[in-house]
Amino acid sequence: MRILVLNGPNLNLLGVREPAVYGDRSFAALEEMIRKTAEEIGVEVELFQSNHEGALVDKIQQALHTADGILINPAAYTHTSVAILDALKAVALPTVEVHLSDISKREAFRQFSYVSLYAQKVIYGKGFEGYREGLQWLSETIGKETQKHAD
Ligand code: DQA
């Protein structure tokens, strides 16, 4: 089972960026935790971070042939990107949306998510742990789907 893990703009600056909101651990530490979790639960992960909307759209399109599910923190594009929503709908893979911070308790403009119009599960406010929960959910959900098709 292969999961594409996507991180959007400014997440590469974790640790430096607004530590009171996003914590003081680095992006490298997040990627390491994701790889370790994937190994523990027995899924393959491909990690991709970009500050560019089109690059994220391209990567989602490629997932059509290379992944069984998507874990995405679209960062600021969450609240603006119909293009990312459309790409996710086009490839139609099981998708979890994750946010480090609790977007439901922040500025009004962060409380609407285009990506949530497609994502089957949305996790926010749990920091790095949200990525772990998302990977676990995808692994169980895709596992059940595969089993159903085998029966
Ligand atoms: C974020 C929340 C977004 O509103 C923000 O633009 C981000 C990070 C989060 O992980 O909490 O860049 O997605």
Where do the domains of the chain lie? 2-150
Q: Cα(19)–Cα(93) distance, rounded to whole angstroms? A: 33
145 C-alpha to ligand 1 centroid (Å): 30
Q: What is the pTM of this model?
A: 0.96
pLDDT per position in the chain (151 positions), as tens?
999 999 999 999 999 999 999 999 999 999 999 999 999 999 999 999 999 999 999 999 999 999 999 999 999 999 999 999 999 999 999 999 999 999 999 999 999 999 999 999 999 999 999 999 999 999 999 988 888 888 7
The pick from 103, 124, 126 for probing ligand 1's pocket by mutation, whose C-beta has the most ligand atoms within 8 angstroms, reads 103
Nearest to 71 by CA among 38, 105, 40: 38
What is the C-alpha separation between 17 and 26, in angstroms, rounded?
9
Q: Which atom of ligand 1 approaches the CA of 102 most closely?
A: 11
Atom of ligand 1 nearest to the CA of 98: 10
Position of tokens 């594009």?
77
Between CA 144 and CA 112 the distance in angstroms is: 30
Class of domain 2-150: alpha beta
Expressed in angstroms, the distance from the first to the final Cα of the chain is 18
